[in-house]
Amino acid sequence: MSDTETRKRLWSVSEKLIRKRLAVVAARASAFGLRFFKLGQGQSLPGRIALKVDPQILAHLAGPLEVVLISGTNGKTTTTALLASGLERSAPTITNAGGSNMTGGIVSALIDGISQNEAARFAALEVDEIYLTPVCRDIVPKAIVLLNLSRDQLDRTQEVRKIARRWKALLGEFPGVKIVANADDPLVVFAALEAHDVTWVAGGISWTEDSLGCPVCTGRITFSGGSWSCDCGFSRPEVSWQLSGDSVVTTPEGTISLGLSIPGAFNVRNSVMALAGCACLGVAPELSKNGMALVNSVSGRFQTYPLLGTDSHVMLTLAKNPAGWVELIAMVDSWVKDRAIVIGLNARLADGRDPSWIWDVPFEVFAGHSVVVCGERATDMALRLRYAEVDALVVPDTYSAIVVASKRSSDVVVLANYTCFQSIRKDLERIGPRNGFAGTLVGVGKYLAKGRK
Amino acid sequence: MGDSISIVTVYPDLLGTYGDGGNAKVLAARLKLRGIAVTSLEVRSSDPLPAGADIYLVGGGEDSPQVEASKILSRTRVLHRAVENGSYVLAVCAGLQIFGEYFVDSEGNDVPGLAILDCRSSKMPGARAVGELLVKTEIDGKEELIVGYENHGSSTQLGPDAKPFSRVVVGVGNSRTAKTDGIRYKNVIATYMHGPVLARNAELADSILRGVFGELPAIADRSLSNLARQLHRERVAAALKSRKAKSVGRATVGLPGRER
Ligand SMILES: [Zn+2]
């Protein structure tokens, strides 16, 4: 190698290092700025700035870490939280707990995580279904957990099958990556067809409307007795991880029993996916399950908040597409008797601009009950409910809607889609007494202002 | 099908992805609210499609299920006979395309449709049409604003004698050049509008029901009627606002979605 070549190469190496440093500094400065000016919600901005300075930043940051990516339509955030908490029992773990799951948000989370713990060994990262391909190409993870695919934000994703095809092409590119896949979802199984090292988990499926047409041939998939198959031979693979009963998990190495703190049968199945994900990174279920038991709410999901100025308690739940709603309806069904229900609907970019999907949710099961409806698309939701013979009171402002509901019952359950959920959560957290004296003052002011309207 | 008005939702397993199943719910509810007997059936593609229903609803679906639905419907010819016999049909998006002579599959190949309507659909040049769709059309002799949500990558060309369903005020509809949406033929209304279109436009729902039943009694439940009118007003206003807000290339390309 000539002298000039060596110099060139050295220069390019140091240029790369400098770029990375600069990118991290820029990201941290912007994160500090966001916090300082209380701009909130800007989780992805520092990452996006870092990406501008160094387009390779994701690969640089993830390089020293053992990464597991989690993707799918529903349960990403909860499964990621469970998985991260499971891994944490073995070694320090970085995660994007805020739910910022596109490239910029993931870069932000990694920069943040590494600055807090340079000894971190694992990263458990939730990734948007469409962003799985670019993120995976940069990071090259050790494992990927694929949860499920169903209709969601169709104005953005266009077709569910398109995502399945993208995933399939992606997994063909990375034969060395360990895949944890939900054997109960035909579209996930289709996506994993090209993968070499797959752990099949009985992850459950409650919404089959998007996978009735076979993704392999043009035939029909029939579901029966917990299994499914098509005449072309495409069928549910043999699983090695599954739930037996309510909380006992059969693993390839024997059975263990779970002790989750979060409610819902779907979360139990999410935790089986998470256990298998931890095992791919060498953390045994006996250890990881202890971490999972510590998770008691995930970014406000299933969190109960006191409602200021009342004796009421408000439980917050995310319901953002038909599959998610169908999972929740089983729980809500038992709630409607003695609790007040609030349903919130927005249709911003992150929710999907077209809320036609509310017509796919079997709200008819609430017929005869009364619901308070809020959010920017409250009228759409109220009319949907009225046609289902559910009485619906429209109170567009989310906080006022909760206050109105609390007069019906001191136990309030709020079910809202993504941006509506986030704004309600912000209200409840800011107003709750746990934010100290100043927070309480702001909350009292807000409560009084809203009460007067 | 007896004395009650019969509504058949065609193959929701293949053509039920975009919420159009709501159209059947709206029609059935608006009959029930008036005390008119109704039988509403959702018929999956594995079951035989009943002949002679009063109203058939065909919704939007993904590319490959759409091809499959077209194949089965071409074979059985139930819808061909129904249209000739004067049944009412509302066909939305993929449903519209299937009723034409040709449409395109995900690989861009031409696929034969039912050839009931004089139109053909092909890959639309430029971005996918995604957003509020506001149109003007005549309903029972009155000019009305109808509003829906479109989400399609194909454009539809009408034959020289075919009659469009409406003129586009905001959005794309059949194509970026034609400024029309959908097509009308006999008692068939085909459109690109999701929403579902009958939930957002009670007038259109009632006009279909009048076609089948004759003059309709008023709905006694005032609050429901008001709510339906309010939704229509809100969506019309939103569509008009969206025209101001967006320029030409509003549909997303590449990796869509903004980070939070
Ligand atoms: Zn098949």
pLDDT digits (tens, 9 = 90+) for B121-165: 999 999 999 999 999 999 999 999 999 999 999 999 999 999 999
Record: contact B230-A379, CB cut-off 8 A: yes
Please, are residues A320 and A348 in contact by the beta-carbon 8 Å criterion? no
Q: Does A362 reach chain B within 8 Å, measured CB to CB?
A: no
Sign of CA dihedral A126, A132, A137, A138: negative
Asked if the model's pLDDT at residue A444 lies above 60, the reply is no
Please state whether B195 falls in left (phi above 0), alpha (psi between -120 and 50) or beta. left
Please, are residues B60 and B194 in contact by the beta-carbon 8 Å criterion? yes
Q: Which has the minimum average pLDDT: A62-76, A335-349, A403-417, B166-180?
A: A335-349
Find the mean pLDDT for residues A224-237.
95
CATH of A304-452, one of 3.90.190, 1.10.8, 3.10.450, 3.30.230: 3.90.190
CATH number of B5-253: 3.40.50.880
Of A349, A354, A380, the CB nearest to B194: A354
Alpha-carbon distance of A63 to B19, in angstroms, equals 43
With a CB cutoff of 8 Å and minimum separation 6, the contacts of A82 are: A270, A271, A274, A291, A292, A295
Mark the residues whose beta carbon lies below 5 A from ion ligand 1.
A 214, 216-217, 219, 230, 232, 234
Distance of CA A173 to the CA centre of its chain: 25
Record: contact A105-B194, CB cut-off 8 A: no
Alpha-carbon distance of B143 to B214, in angstroms, equals 20
Task: From residue B88, give the alpha-carbon distance in Å to each of A7, A257, A362, A410, B190.
Answer: 78, 57, 26, 49, 11
Asked if the model's pLDDT at residue A450 lies above 90, the reply is no
Distance of CA A424 to the CA centre of its chain: 17
Buried b (16+ CB within 10 A) or exposed e, B216-251: eeebeeeebeebbeebbebbbebbbebeeeeeeeeb
**Which residues on chain A are in Cβ contact (under 8 Å) with B130?**
155, 353
Distance from CA of B117 to the nearest CA of A (A): 25
Record: contact B194-A356, CB cut-off 8 A: yes
Sheet with B154-158, side-by-side order of all strands: B110-112, B102-104, B119-123, B154-158
Residue A156 CB burial class (10 angstroms; 0-12, 13-18, ≥19): buried
Find the mean pLDDT for residues A260-268.
89
Distance from CA of B160 to the nearest CA of A (A): 31
Q: Does A104 reach chain B within 8 Å, measured CB to CB?
A: yes
Could you give the angle at which helices A398-406 and A418-431 cross, rounded to 10 degrees? 70
Residue B250 binned pLDDT confidence (cut-offs 50, 70, 90) = very low
Of B16, B46, B71, the CB nearest to A209: B16
Sign of CA dihedral A97, A319, A128, A205: positive
Q: Phi and psi (nearest 5°) for A127? A: -130, 135
Q: What tens digit of pLDDT does each residue of A119-156 get?
A: 999 999 999 999 999 999 999 999 999 999 999 999 88
Paired strand residues for A122: A66, A93
Coil vs helix vs strand at A408: coil
With a CB cutoff of 8 Å and minimum separation 6, the contacts of A193 are: A168
**Which residues on chain A are in Cβ contact (under 8 Å) with B252?**
156
Q: How many CB pairs under 8 A join A and B?
A: 128
- pLDDT on residue A452: 40
Distance from CA of A315 to the nearest CA of B (A): 23
Task: From residue B99, give the alpha-carbon distance in Å to each of A119, B114, B146, B191.
Answer: 62, 5, 21, 11
- pLDDT on residue A55: 83
Alpha carbon of A416 to ligand 1 centroid (Å): 36
Q: Residue A14 corresponds to which tokens in the numbers above?
A: 């140091």
Alpha carbon of A212 to ligand 1 centroid (Å): 10
- Three-state secondary structure string covering chain B: CCCCEEEEEECCCCCCCCCCCHHHHHHHHHHHCCCCCEEEEEECCCCCCCCCCCEEEECCCCHHHHHHHHHHHHHHCHHHHHHHCCCEEEEECHHHHHHCCEEECCCCCEEECCCCCCEEEEECCCCCEEEEEEEEEEECCEEEEEEEEEEECEEEEECCCCECCEEEEECCCCCCCCCEECEEECCEEEECCECCHHHHCHHHHHHHHHHHHCCCCCCCCHHHHHHHHHHHHHHHHHHHHHHHHCCCCCCCCCCCCCCC
Record: contact A218-B64, CB cut-off 8 A: yes
Task: From residue B152, give the alpha-carbon distance in Å to each of A157, B23, B135.
Answer: 12, 19, 17
Alpha carbon of A101 to ligand 1 centroid (Å): 32
User: Beta strand B188-191 with B183-185: parallel, antiparallel or unpaired?
Assistant: antiparallel
Alpha-carbon distance of A100 to A77, in angstroms, equals 9
pTM here is 0.87
- CA-nearest of B241, B172, B256 to A153 is B256
Record: contact B25-A212, CB cut-off 8 A: no
The percent of residues above 70 in pLDDT, for chain B, comes to 93
Q: Within 10 A of A10 (CB to CB), how many other CB atoms are there?
A: 10
Alpha-carbon distance of A202 to A148, in angstroms, equals 11
- pLDDT on residue A29: 73
- Where exactly does CATH 3.40.1190.10 map onto chain A? 13-292
Please, are residues B86 and B55 in contact by the beta-carbon 8 Å criterion? no
- pLDDT on residue B244: 76
Alpha-carbon distance of B166 to B146, in angstroms, equals 9
- Where exactly does CATH 3.90.190 map onto chain A? 304-452
Coil vs helix vs strand at A306: strand
**Which residues on chain A are in Cβ contact (under 8 Å) with B152?**
none
- pLDDT on residue B194: 97
Among chain A residues, the shortest Cα distance to B45 is held by A220
Paired strand residues for B89: B56, B188
Q: Residue A444 corresponds to which tokens in the numbers above?
A: 């009292």
Alpha carbon of A188 to ligand 1 centroid (Å): 14
Record: contact A158-B128, CB cut-off 8 A: yes
CATH superfamily of A13-292: Mur-like, catalytic domain (3.40.1190.10)
User: Beta strand B166-170 with B180-181: parallel, antiparallel or unpaired?
Assistant: antiparallel
Alpha-carbon distance of B235 to B244, in angstroms, equals 14
What's the one-letter identity of residue B129? A
Record: contact A384-B26, CB cut-off 8 A: no
Please, are residues B7 and B24 in contact by the beta-carbon 8 Å criterion? yes
Alpha-carbon distance of A437 to A444, in angstroms, equals 10
Q: Does A231 reach chain B within 8 Å, measured CB to CB?
A: no
Record: contact A220-B13, CB cut-off 8 A: yes
Record: contact A43-B230, CB cut-off 8 A: no
Q: Does A169 reach chain B within 8 Å, measured CB to CB?
A: no
Alpha carbon of A229 to ligand 1 centroid (Å): 8
Alpha-carbon distance of A383 to A393, in angstroms, equals 10
Task: From residue A103, give the alpha-carbon distance in Å to each of A106, A149, A161, B126.
Answer: 5, 20, 22, 26
In terms of pLDDT, which residue wins out, B200 or A41? B200
- CA-nearest of B46, B54, B45 to B6 is B54
Helices (H), A39-159: 45-53, 57-62, 76-88, 103-116, 132-139, 154-157
Alpha carbon of A232 to ligand 1 centroid (Å): 4
Alpha carbon of A214 to ligand 1 centroid (Å): 5
Of B151, B234, B255, the CB nearest to A155: B151
Q: What tens digit of pLDDT does each residue of A205-220 get?
A: 989 999 899 999 988 9
Domain ranges of chain B: 5-253
Paired strand residues for A244: A248
**Which residues on chain B are in Cβ contact (under 8 Å) with A102?**
257, 259
Task: From residue A28, give the alpha-carbon distance in Å to each of A34, A106, A114, B258.
Answer: 10, 14, 11, 21
Q: Does A218 reach chain B within 8 Å, measured CB to CB?
A: yes
Asked if the model's pLDDT at residue A413 lies above 90, the reply is yes
- pLDDT on residue A329: 87
Q: What tens digit of pLDDT does each residue of B9-65 get?
A: 999 999 999 999 999 999 999 999 999 999 999 999 999 999 999 999 999 999 889
